[in-house]
């Protein structure tokens, strides 16, 4: 039987987006050099819009003045995808994993990341699924989790190190808050939902992080680590 891989998992209750992005870059560099193992960061951001490599600034519906008035930060970043929102009541996950060039399946990585969230939702009787034309996790025609990643090509090893990841909506009414100021992921035909909107239950961020970790480890083949709180 193949031995499970090891993973460091960290829960950070609240972290500025810029700090989290810089942290990911530093970890990716250390992993490329073989100085750090695979890690999963689970956290929450203050209100933030991020525009991915598809670069559609027209999908941001608010002016610079309105962003400042509402206290929403804006970042042009290096992940794939379009514009999305991060904010309170949303569990963000950044898997920093080394993917060897042998048998590399980047498409499969995205599908596995979706499956982690689908499996967690299933435990609450929520049927999460996929839409063939869009990355992410959906409940019917409403997106509950956005996914956007970057595959960082290694310079000193064969393969890639992943960064960025998923954003799982937990808080009730999140679709009418930050998401109201954008066309989420550039998709105008479908909406956004959250765990609380679907169940009527509040889900604390730390509880969601603890519950999601075993699904992540099972799907990606890691031994279950202790979730360390920063």
Write out the binding residues.
Answer: 79-86, 146-148, 165-167
Whether 185 is catalytic is yes
Token pair in block for residue 217: 């480890």
Q: 3-class DSSP state for residue 58?
A: helix
Exposure string over 183-215, b if 16+ CB within 10 A, otherwise e? ebbbbeebebbbbbbbeeeebebeebbeebbeb
Among candidate residues 12, 81, 127, 224, the one with its CA nearest the CA of residue 24: 12
Separation of CA 186 from chain center: 17
For 201: left if phi > 0, alpha if psi spans -120 to 50, otherwise beta; the answer is beta
Binding residues for substrate: 79-86, 146-148, 165-167
User: Which residue carries 């202790």 as its tokens?
Assistant: 226
Name 132's Cβ contacts closer than 8 Å, sequence gap at least 6.
none
Q: What is the DSSP letter of 192?
A: E
CB atoms inside a 10 Å sphere around CB 115: 18
- Among residues 92, 99, 116, 185, the one annotated as catalytic is 185
> What is the rounded end-to-end Cα distance, in angstroms, of the chain?
34
Angstrom distance (rounded) from CA 135 to CA 130: 7
Where in the sequence numbering do the catalytic residues fall? Answer: 185
């Amino acid at each position: 039987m193949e031995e499970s891989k090891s993973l460091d998992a960290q829960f950070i209750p609240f972290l500025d987006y810029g700090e989290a992005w810089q942290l990911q870059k530093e970890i990716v560099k250390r992993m490329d050099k073989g100085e750090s193992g695979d890690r999963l960061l689970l956290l929450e951001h203050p209100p933030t819009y991020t525009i991915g490599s598809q670069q559609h600034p027209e999908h941001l519906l608010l002016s610079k003045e309105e962003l400042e008035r509402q206290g929403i930060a804006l970042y042009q970043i290096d992940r794939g995808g379009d514009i999305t929102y991060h904010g309170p009541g949303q569990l963000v996950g950044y898997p920093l994993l080394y993917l060897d060039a042998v048998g590399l399946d980047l498409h499969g990585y995205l599908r596995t990341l979706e499956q982690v969230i689908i499996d967690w939702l299933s435990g609450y009787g929520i049927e999460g699924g996929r839409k063939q034309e869009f990355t992410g996790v959906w409940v019917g025609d409403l997106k509950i989790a956005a996914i956007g990643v970057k595959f960082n090509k290694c310079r000193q090893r064969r393969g890639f190190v992943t960064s960025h990841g998923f954003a799982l909506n937990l808080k009730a009414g999140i679709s009418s808050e930050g998401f109201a100021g954008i066309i989420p992921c550039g998709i105008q035909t479908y909406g956004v939902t959250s765990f609380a909107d679907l169940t009527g239950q509040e889900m604390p961020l730390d509880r969601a992080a603890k519950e999601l970790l075993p699904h992540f480890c099972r799907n990606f083949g890691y031994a279950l680590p202790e979730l360390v709180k920063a």
